[in-house]
Chains A and B, each alone.
Chain A
Amino acid sequence: MSSKSGNVYGLTLLCPIIDDPGAIPSHDLQIRAHLAKLSLGPDSPFAVAPGTHLARLVVLDDVIYVGAPSCEEHLNSKYLVFESNCDGDRDSYLTGLARKIPDALDAIWSHCVGYPDDGARNIPAFLQYMKRCEIETTFFFAPVNDKTRTQTLVALRNKAYIAHFIASHQGKPPAEIQRNIGALYARLKSLPDPEPAAIQVSRKMATGGRNE
């Protein structure tokens, strides 16, 4: 397996979180507090930065003992897990992040062991740090195909327009369909590329069932 699937790169980082009994609140709680407030919309740093299909940040405290017959094990450190499915190759993606959202990166990773003192603005040191934390990605986010983020967003937008067109034109005379599909095609071609994370489907699904 490899961290590459066609043109999409799967970046997985395990970054040890600073263990400092003197830090109150602890660094892992500080990361949690910061992540809890991160936007999921178009102003999310990973929507602003180029090329991210999906980014996920997880604070991994420890592995949990679930009872026999498994054996009890523990991690040596708490980790920040970063997973991203992104366009292109790793170095140019990380460089893009560092150029576009350095403050957002520093706010998260400054709680991690070995992160450069001068943060993401020191691009060579930042790249070296992130690469040191990388582990191989073997599974990708299921819907990721071999298209770029922009191609995917355009395709999703077009699909929504076309589905609406079909639903409103079923049973209409062929001449009318032909005329309107030409207009739809011209319209789609004229639209600007959609912004990442701009389409927010509200799905009010409560938790508490056996579905999480």
Chain B
Amino acid sequence: MSKLNASDIQGFSLRGYNLPFARFLFLHFTNAEKGRLLLTRLLPLITTGQLWDKKPDATLNIAFTHRGLVALELPLATLISFPPEFQLGMKARGTILGDVGLNAPDHWDKVWREDHVHVWLAINAQSPEALTTCFTQMQTLLEETGGATLLDFQDAGAIPIDGQFTTKEHFGYTDGFGNPDYLGVCRDTQPGQGKLMPGGTWAPLATGELLLGYADEAGELPVAPVPHLFASNGTFMVYRKLHENVGTFREFLNESGKRYGTGDDKTKEKLAAKIVGRWRDGTPVELSPDAPDAAIVNDPNRNVDFMFGQDLAGTRCPVGAHIRRTNPRDAFGFDGRLVHRRRISRRGLPYGPVAPPEDQPVDPRELDQADRGIVFMALNASLSRQFEFVQQQWISYGNDAHLGNEKDLLIGHHGEGERFGIQGDTTAANPPFFCSNLPNFVELRGGDYFFIPSITALGMLAMNLVDPR
């Protein structure tokens, strides 16, 4: 396969837009026929994967929960052909995902506690004005067609620093590195982004790891609904609203930083780097273990091009560091082949007010209580094989990495008596360290599993043409 038909694929499925403002609308179909009328009106407005000559002021994309497809009265043979985890929805997969305790549904936002969300309608925009214009247009469409009610919406946006939009999140880390490349997706490729080949070069992953209807890394077609035309060029998305306890994080870093190494501000930053595997400016710890290095961060040929195979003991990048857990590269041997079927594409954005700078004294509880965090969105061909596996086995458990029951420090759901080990060596600058009394830095506030259809499939939905026979 040489090139995908980008005009049939939603732009959101193929690439992150890098637009600073976003609003995610959650809709509920009241009536299948009127719902289809709404989709008919939306169809010409949906942003496709075609490359831009000029960035648009705003983009529009759409996805459906299984409940939403039921509400559109799709044929039963199609509805039951979806993968079981998508049919069940994210809430029902809670015990697999570790969405218990503070992350359990009774702590979720109202819109997610009730099982009413049928549609995710996403506006990404260059400016607040462009966002409002598009949002008003959507409200008008909803009113004119009566196709769906707006249950709620979620605003999100890039964090500005010194007047420039950044890819920072609220804990201060630069985010959004290292989405995989896929065969046929036209984009500037970076070394380190696809799959590792013998000889140390990188190649794009099979298209079927992202899009339905194409061969995946096992040479098979991903599990997909019938008919093929309805599934093809579509993908599955997990949407998770992750609240960040910024006060707890800062407090933890200050307290633990005092006991780590020499205990000054420099070691606090080093501790922050060891937890994630990147310095907060984005420098990979594996490439630069002693200090952040802007030259690496700003070089797309270097900032994701690294491996862990020469650092199996984790003395540079800890074995349990966030980016090493979620993409272990060659750390598990077999030339990295064990991770090719566990990759996801992320499309996250922060939400909520920007926290005051770290050197300003603010009550940590007050910082925690502010409604801020990350809207985590990840795309993959198989929710269970890719996202759920990473969440269950690599975030909430450590056995594959020889870490026993240890979880990801940053986003794991921690209980009493848990520890997080940071490997080191015998030098004073890089001591081993145990973090204990682990607080929960991140709490789930809701979300669900969505199907992002192709443009053709959206047309089939709008015109009631989905026929599984």
CB within 8 Å of A: which B82-100 residues: 85, 93, 95-96, 100
Q: Is B263 an interface residue (CB 8 A)?
A: yes
A82 to B405, CA, bound (A): 28
Closest Cβ neighbor of B342 among chain A residues: A210
A211 to B391, CA, bound (A): 11
What is the 8 Å Cβ interface bit string for chain B, positions 50-93, against chain A (1 contact, 0 not)?
Answer: 00000000000000000000000000000000000100000001
A206 to B393, CA, bound (A): 11
Asked if A210 and B258 make an inter-chain contact with CB atoms under 8 angstroms apart, the answer reads no
A162 to B270, CA, bound (A): 25
Q: Is A24 an interface residue (CB 8 A)?
A: no
Q: Is B230 an interface residue (CB 8 A)?
A: no
Among B24-32, B162-170, B295-303, B381-389, the stretch in contact with A: B381-389
Contact of B263 among A167, A171, A205, A207 (CB under 8 A): A171
Q: Is B332 an interface residue (CB 8 A)?
A: no
Contact of B259 among A163, A171, A201, A208 (CB under 8 A): A171
Contacts of A201 in B (CB 8 A): 405
Asked if B258 and A167 make an inter-chain contact with CB atoms under 8 angstroms apart, the answer reads no
Q: Is B419 an interface residue (CB 8 A)?
A: yes
Q: Which of A163, A206, A207 has the most CB of B within 10 A?
A: A206
Report B8 CB to chain A, min CB distance, Å: 28
A171 to B382, CA, bound (A): 46
Contacts of A167 in B (CB 8 A): 419, 434-436
Asked if B389 and A209 make an inter-chain contact with CB atoms under 8 angstroms apart, the answer reads yes
Contacts of A163 in B (CB 8 A): 419, 434
Asked if A211 and B392 make an inter-chain contact with CB atoms under 8 angstroms apart, the answer reads yes
Residues of A in contact (CB 8 Å), total 16
Contacts of A204 in B (CB 8 A): 95, 100
Q: Is A168 an interface residue (CB 8 A)?
A: yes
A167 to B96, CA, bound (A): 30
Contacts of B85 in A (CB 8 A): 209
Q: Is B214 an interface residue (CB 8 A)?
A: no
Contacts of B434 in A (CB 8 A): 163, 166-167, 170
Report B217 CB to chain A, min CB distance, Å: 14
- Assuming the A-B contacts A168-B436, A170-B434, are A210 and B259 also in contact, with contact meaning beta carbons closer than 8 angstroms in the complex? no
Q: Is B17 an interface residue (CB 8 A)?
A: no
Asked if B433 and A205 make an inter-chain contact with CB atoms under 8 angstroms apart, the answer reads no
CB within 8 Å of A: which B332-349 residues: none
Residues of B in contact (CB 8 Å), total 24
Q: Is A179 an interface residue (CB 8 A)?
A: no
Report A152 CB to chain B, min CB distance, Å: 15
Contacts of B449 in A (CB 8 A): none
Q: Is A189 an interface residue (CB 8 A)?
A: no
Report A25 CB to chain B, min CB distance, Å: 31
CB within 8 Å of B: which A159-180 residues: 163, 166-168, 170-171
Report B354 CB to chain A, min CB distance, Å: 33
Report A212 CB to chain B, min CB distance, Å: 11
Q: Is A203 an interface residue (CB 8 A)?
A: yes
Q: Is B397 an interface residue (CB 8 A)?
A: yes
Asked if A209 and B384 make an inter-chain contact with CB atoms under 8 angstroms apart, the answer reads yes
A189 to B284, CA, bound (A): 43
Contacts of B263 in A (CB 8 A): 171
CB within 8 Å of A: which B245-287 residues: 258-260, 263
A201 to B399, CA, bound (A): 13
Contact of A210 among B95, B100, B384, B419 (CB under 8 A): B384
Closest Cβ neighbor of A166 among chain B residues: B434
Contacts of A205 in B (CB 8 A): 392, 396-397
Report B241 CB to chain A, min CB distance, Å: 22
Report A66 CB to chain B, min CB distance, Å: 13
Report A187 CB to chain B, min CB distance, Å: 19
CB within 8 Å of A: which B415-441 residues: 419, 433-436
Asked if A208 and B96 make an inter-chain contact with CB atoms under 8 angstroms apart, the answer reads yes
Contacts of B433 in A (CB 8 A): 170
Smallest CB-CB A-B distances: 9 pairs: A206-B95, A171-B259, A167-B434, A167-B436, A210-B385, A210-B384, A209-B96, A206-B96, A170-B259
7 pairs from A and B in contact (CB 8 Å cutoff): A163-B419, A166-B434, A208-B96, A210-B384, A210-B388, A211-B389, A211-B392
- Apart from the given pairs A170-B259, A171-B258, 10 other A-B contacts in the complex at a CB distance below 8 Å: A167-B434, A168-B436, A170-B260, A204-B100, A206-B95, A208-B93, A209-B389, A209-B392, A210-B382, A211-B393
Contacts from A to B (Cβ < 8 Å):
163, 166-168, 170-171, 201, 203-211
